[in-house]
């Protein structure tokens, strides 16, 4: 992976002035990227996000990019609710800008596939924010498994045990409305860990599972709990099974866990990563530093991913976490939703 680097001549527009946009704006400021504008349908929210950076505030992306006076733009950052991802991506690509979109690709699999098609039909880079692939711990897991020192993978398990209360949904109403979010804990929180499991173990060939609601909250129609079993196409034709449990009905946010058992050792992620070899020797890899001012459960590597995306803008190859790569986790979730 390329190291994050400064690009003082780059210019960006951030669409969506909510909580996650602050991480993008902070990263861009640290990289020396000029934020030309913040766009949000709520004019006051757009102004609040734009003012500290001296950026313009707009309520419509297309107008901002055409007659809004922001000038040439290199990258549009999509930090909107899920159901707004597709139209923003399409508008940005139509104006010839690169795009960096928060997960998921869209609120439905059909719209996610339209994002993939639009990205692959054009010449601009489209990256997807699955930032946990940049964590020091998960990168180390990938390297150990690829190196083969622990032997073939026998199986894996993962958990996301978090808390999302009525107050959370009251402050982010779209997240509790299936027509806008596409779902609950799976698509809004656990998608990162589902992505990591399939990235680490290999392509998923079959999925079974259920998503359901344990704790009723007025006005919320999305699941807070899910259980999944996945079969992966392992090395040398051998199939590998992983199991996955996610809930937003816990009292507190627990650390994400991923455990991988191999023939000659194991890997256990619980904040830090512990790699155990066949002789019982242990190697510990510390997690990446948390992003200042951001909840730890968002993951720790937004800035690394954003910096890497900008560092690769002039390369001819697509960004390595593009829409087709990100589609794999969404397909898994969609299969579970179809069974639930």
For 11-131, CATH number out of 3.30.930.10, 3.20.20.30, 3.40.50.300, 3.40.50.720 equals 3.40.50.720
State if pTM tops 0.75: yes
Classify domain 136-287 by CATH number: 3.30.360.10
DSSP class of 95: T
Q: Give the span between the Cα atoms of 193 and 226, in whole angstroms.
A: 13
High-pLDDT (> 70) share of the chain, %: 93
Instruction: Please state, in angstroms and as integers, the Cα–Cα distance from residue 167 to each residue in 134, 164, 176, 219, following that order.
Output: 31, 8, 11, 12
34 Cβ contact list (under 8 Å, min separation 6): 8, 10, 11, 12
Residue 292 has a pLDDT of: 61
pLDDT tens digit sequence for 246-278: 999 999 999 999 999 999 999 999 999 999 999
From first CA to last CA, the distance across the chain in angstroms is: 38
Domain borders along the chain are 11-131, 136-287
Q: Give the span between the Cα atoms of 123 and 158, in whole angstroms.
A: 37
Tell me the pLDDT band of 293, cut-offs 50, 70 and 90.
Answer: low
Residue reference for tokens 């400064």:
6
DSSP class of 32: T
Residue 231 has pLDDT above 50, yes or no: yes
Q: Rounded to 5 degrees, what are φ and ψ at 113? A: -65, -30
pLDDT tens digit sequence for 101-158: 999 999 999 999 999 999 999 999 999 999 999 999 999 999 999 999 999 999 999 9
Long-range (24+ apart) CB contacts under 8 A made by 108-112 are 108/182, 108/334, 109/330, 109/331, 109/334, 111/85, 111/86, 112/323, 112/326, 112/327, 112/330
Q: Residue 144 has which token pair?
A: 């150990």
Q: Give the span between the Cα atoms of 42 and 30, in whole angstroms.
A: 26
């Amino acid at each position: 992976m390329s190291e994050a680097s400064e690009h003082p001549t780059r210019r960006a527009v951030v669409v969506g002035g909510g909580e996650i946009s602050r991480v993008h704006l902070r990263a861009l400021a640290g990289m020396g990227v000029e934020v030309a504008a913040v766009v949000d349908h709520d004019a006051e929210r757009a102004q609040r996000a734009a003012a500290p950076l001296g950026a313009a505030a707009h309520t419509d992306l297309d107008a901002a990019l055409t007659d809004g006076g922001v000038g040439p733009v290199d990258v549009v950052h999509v930090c909107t609710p899920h159901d707004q991802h597709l139209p923003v991506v399409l508008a940005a690509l139509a104006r010839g800008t690169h795009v960096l979109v928060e997960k998921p690709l869209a609120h439905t699999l059909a719209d996610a596939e339209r994002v993939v098609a639009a990205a692959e039909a054009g010449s601009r880079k489209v990256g997807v924010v699955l930032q946990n692939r940049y964590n020091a711990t998960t990168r180390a897991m990938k390297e150990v498994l690829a190196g083969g020192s622990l032997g073939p993978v026998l199986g894996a398990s993962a958990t996301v045990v978090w808390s999302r209360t009525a107050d959370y949904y009251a402050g982010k109403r779209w997240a509790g409305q299936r027509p806008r979010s596409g779902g609950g804990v799976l698509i809004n929180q656990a998608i990162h860990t589902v992505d990591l499991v399939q990235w680490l173990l290999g392509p998923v060939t079959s999925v079974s599972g259920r998503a359901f609601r344990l704790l009723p909250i007025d006005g919320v129609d999305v699941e807070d709990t899910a259980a999944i079993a996945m079969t992966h196409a392992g090395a040398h034709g051998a199939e590998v099974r992983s199991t996955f449990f996610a809930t937003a009905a816990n009292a507190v946010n627990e650390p994400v866990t991923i455990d991988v058992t191999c023939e000659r050792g194991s890997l256990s992620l619980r904040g830090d990563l512990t790699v155990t070899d066949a002789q019982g020797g242990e190697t510990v890899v510390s997690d990446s530093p948390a992003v200042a001012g951001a909840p730890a459960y968002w993951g720790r590597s937004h800035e690394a991913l954003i910096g890497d995306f900008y560092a690769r803008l002039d390369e001819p190859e697509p960004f390595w976490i593009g829409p087709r790569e990100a589609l794999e986790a969404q397909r898994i979730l969609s299969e579970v939703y179809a069974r639930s």
